[in-house]
Amino acid sequence: MVSNVMVQKLALAFDQAEDKPHFEKTSFRVKNKIFATLDKAKRKLVVKLSNVDQSVFSSIDRKAVFPVPGGWGKQGWTIIELKHAKKSLVIDALTTSYTNVAPKKLADKYLPKV
């Protein structure tokens, strides 16, 4: 189980990440582009993944990770139920989401070196 406070600390640890209100949620942004949102009341994190990454993360634990219903899910937006998620999964999902959205120069720091 991962707390809301832990999610906020993890998301804001990325270079130039900031949090801003987004309707009734908190959004995490880089260069004003949203890479994740947190619904503190429902304890749900939503991250922006590629369709392939969404499939991979969902296959790890279908109770904890699944596409947002409808068109948003088809665009890669993915729900993580914090009450069921392991910290390592949340870290990996946030990192993947950040690197998908951040400019290449910022993202490269968090990508594996090959």
Domain boundaries, the chain: 4-110
Read off the pLDDT band of 1 (50, 70, 90): confident
- pLDDT value of residue 100: 97
pTM metric for this prediction: 0.96
Q: What are the pLDDT digits (tens) for 13-68?
A: 999 999 999 999 999 999 999 999 999 999 999 999 999 999 999 999 999 999 99
Domain 4-110 CATH (choose: 3.90.1150.30, 3.10.580.20, 1.25.40.80, 3.40.50.620): 3.90.1150.30
Give per-residue burial for 55-68: e unless 16+ CB within 10 Å, then b.
eebbeeeeebbbbb
Rounded to whole angstroms, how far apart are CA atoms 85 and 14? 20
